[in-house]
Amino acid sequence: MLDRLEQLEQQATAELKAVGDADALEQFRIRYLGAKGQLKAAMSWLKDASKEDKPKLGQGLNALKKKLEAAFEARQSELGSSAGAKASGRGPMLDVTEPGLAPTMGRAHVIEQVMAQLIEVFARMGFDVAEGPELEDERHNFVALNIPMQHPARDPLDNFYVDDSHLLRTQTSTIQIRVMEHTQPPIRIVAPGRVYRPDTHDATHSSMFHQIEGLYVDRKVSMVDLKTTLINFAHAFFGEEAEVRLRPSYFPFTEPSAELDIKMQVKDTWDWVELGGCGMVDPAVFEAVGYDPDEWTGFAFGLGVERIAMRRYGISDIRWLYENDVRFLKQF
């Protein structure tokens, strides 16, 4: 009996060695380890064995079962990572040569990119960067900017008030005031940021948009400095061929005041579009921050960043910037 057991082991071991793919391995499992397999059949030898042989045969059968199961599993994992398994059409469990899936990279929104480019261009002209809060009080959004109580710009319908005296800032000019309140001239800063107005949405208007403010305060600053700075900026940013103009305008916090316009495409036509306002800082603003208006002079400007991005990249509708369509955004 024990000889037969040994024969069975040799035969099974030899067959397992010859197994070359997953299908043959499964046939082996059925033949030896399956419910109707040879090992199961060998169990019946026990009843014909003599009393003395029975314990040895029982132990031998159990040991063989364990041995064949372990050998089967070892062969199974060998075949899993070998070409033999590939030949069976099932492929290896892990193919380290397979090209991986490239992770999708995020990117800065086009407005963030343009803000960084603007900061860089103005930095080359000697402007530092300043920041201020989006939630403002009336002093910084209106009072210190020479916008009196009864001015139409303070109408609650034209602003996002959060309580009686606080609102989401409508312009980055608030940062001019904050900087002058705690800095002595000379000052040369740009201040980028988000602003909010309940404007009706169309191709060039949004209720949340970005501005970049500029402020230069020193002795003997003139309108020529302002004009030179803005025209130089426009040509550096949009190219020498860009058509820009300064048009007389009015702001309570600058005197004289102007608008900077640029020719650009909106919808299907090229036309003058206002990029921002500018002017010489009004003496009333200097007084509000404690500067002597007889000593200090300055210019300020506030440009719309969305319109700058639209002109730079030929985007003819501001709303595309905020629809979050990845197919659009990933072009930049």
Residues interacting with ligand FA5, by CB under 6 A?
A: 171, 173, 197, 199, 205-206, 209, 211, 251, 254, 257, 274-279, 300-302, 304, 306-307
What are the b/e assignments for 157-181, b being 16+ CB within 10 Å? eebbeeeeeebbbbbbbbbbbbbbe
Nearer to ligand FA5, 22 or 300 (CB): 300
Read off the tokens for 218: 């020193």
**Tell me, what DSSP letter sits at residue 202?**
B
Nearer to ligand FA5, 31 or 227 (CB): 227
**What is the sign, positive or negative, of the torsion defined by CA atoms of 239, 245, 246, 247?**
negative
Residue 299 CB neighbour total at 10 angstroms: 23
State which H helix or E strand residue 237 sits in: helix 223-238
Nearer to ligand FA5, 254 or 297 (CB): 254
Cβ-closest residue to ligand FA5? 304
Nearer to ligand FA5, 159 or 211 (CB): 211
Smallest separation (angstroms) from ligand FA5 to the CB of 110: 14
178 alpha carbon, distance to own chain's centre: 30
Smallest separation (angstroms) from ligand FA5 to the CB of 176: 7
Nearer to ligand FA5, 257 or 297 (CB): 257
C-alpha 24/C-alpha 28 separation (Å) is 6
Nearer to ligand FA5, 187 or 275 (CB): 275
Smallest separation (angstroms) from ligand FA5 to the CB of 95: 53
Ramachandran quadrant class, 314 (left: phi over 0; alpha: psi -120 to 50; beta: rest):
left
Nearer to ligand FA5, 29 or 159 (CB): 159
Smallest separation (angstroms) from ligand FA5 to the CB of 106: 25
C-alpha 167/C-alpha 146 separation (Å) is 17
Nearer to ligand FA5, 29 or 210 (CB): 210
C-alpha 277/C-alpha 300 separation (Å) is 8
Smallest separation (angstroms) from ligand FA5 to the CB of 149: 19
Smallest separation (angstroms) from ligand FA5 to the CB of 292: 20
C-alpha 237/C-alpha 308 separation (Å) is 9
Nearest-5° Cα angle at 20, 14 to 22: 115
Smallest separation (angstroms) from ligand FA5 to the CB of 290: 19
Nearer to ligand FA5, 193 or 277 (CB): 277
Smallest separation (angstroms) from ligand FA5 to the CB of 123: 19
Half-sphere exposure of 289 (CA within 13 A, CB side): 27
Among residues 72, 60, 65, which one has the least CA distance to residue 28?
72
Nearest-5° Cα angle at 158, 142 to 177: 20
State which H helix or E strand residue 272 sits in: strand 269-281
Smallest separation (angstroms) from ligand FA5 to the CB of 266: 12
